[in-house]
Structure 1
Amino acid sequence: AYDTAACYDYIDEREAIAGIPPQRNAKIWFHGNRKTPRHPRDENLRKIRLVGRAKWKRLINYHRRSLAETTMFRFKTAFGGKVSSRKMERQVNELKVQCLVLNHMIQVAKPDSYAC
């Protein structure tokens, strides 16, 4: 879904690094003899072919995406998908308080571990 030229252009405009896994049947977009730098998608695809998809995901910390999605799911489940304040300053404060509450809820629910 995100393996598109438009997504890569958007990421490039923000000078970020694209960690989008190409589709399994993906082909190289731009082959060798070019004077421009290699396309990030093609570099990802070459690296996947070299080390394998699972190792590539570990190398780029792809699991962090899943952690972020889980955190946002928890946040929206606990507080809903909207803020009730109208002014931006109050919205920021509201979201900060909700983050503090969510962090506290996670700490309270976390089991105590003891070394045996």
Structure 2
Amino acid sequence: MKGVQRDERTVAIAFDSTGLKRYGRDEWHQEKHKVSSKRSWRKLHLGVGDDHVIYSTVLTDKNTMDDAATEALCDQIEEEVSMVSADRAYDENHVYKTVEAHFPEADIIIPPKDYLHYNENHHPKRCAHMIEIAAKGQQTWQQHHQYGKRSGSETAMQRYKRTFGNQLHAREMSNQEIEVMIACGVLNRFTSLGMPQSYKSV
């Protein structure tokens, strides 16, 4: 994402997506006016660092699959990346190839889909995850590869919706793209001022 203040260290990036309503249309509006749901939602894709900074953002229609936004998300990231993590929706060979082309030194941590079996057609890093999970189990694999860092992307989604709501206000796609870019820039500004510290109550 352009305008992010850079430093000399590397970041771990997590990809994720969430839905945003288009200018207030909701399920009741769809039912009453027979509006197709695909017209009333956009999908916001984010690339979030382990420092809670949003490094990339892409807005698409609702039917765009998560993995299809990978190239556009990677294109916006100028930082040194040590790890890229995502959920099973991104477990595709082309995602591994795209991430590896942009960040050759980064670990790619994506849990394989349950129905997959090892074969030479899969990306080598994808195959390595299959073998390790079969040998050690899913939980051990997650702990070994620090998969828990992916929760930062989920936190970013919650921060976005709690701050700006779960709907877009602009009507045209081009303006909606600007709207989410501005919103993510504001969140990054908040992050630069300091994240809240949470403590367990006693």
**Larger strand percent:** 2
1:22 matched residue in structure 2: 112
Which whole-Å deviations, capped at 9, do the CAs of 1:4-45 have from their partners, x for residues lacking one? 1110101111212211110122111318xxxxxx70001111
Say whether 1:98 aligns with 2:190: yes
Q: How many residues align structurally? A: 96
Q: Tell me if the contact between 1:29 and 1:42 (Cα under 8 Å) persists in the aligned partners.
A: yes
Deviation of 1:100 after TM superposition, in Å, equals: 4.3
SS of equivalent to 1:23: coil
How does 1:82-93 map onto structure 2 within 5 Å?
Answer: 82=180, 83=182
Distance 2:188 2:95 in 1: 30
Q: Tell me if the contact between 1:19 and 1:60 (Cα under 8 Å) persists in the aligned partners.
A: yes
1:8 matched residue in structure 2: 96
How does 1:2-81 map onto structure 2 within 5 Å?
Answer: 2-14=90-102, 15=104, 16-30=106-120, 39-66=124-151, 68-80=152-164
**Larger helix percent:** 1
Identity %: 20
Q: Tell me if the contact between 1:11 and 1:17 (Cα under 8 Å) persists in the aligned partners.
A: no
Where structure 2 has 5 or more consecutive residues not aligned to the other structure, the ranges are 1-88, 165-178
Structure with more relative contact order (C-alpha pairs < 8 Å, separation 6 or more) = 2
Where structure 1 has 5 or more consecutive residues not aligned to the other structure, the ranges are 32-37, 85-90
- Normalised by the size of structure 1, how large is the TM-score? 0.65
- Normalised by the size of structure 2, how large is the TM-score? 0.40
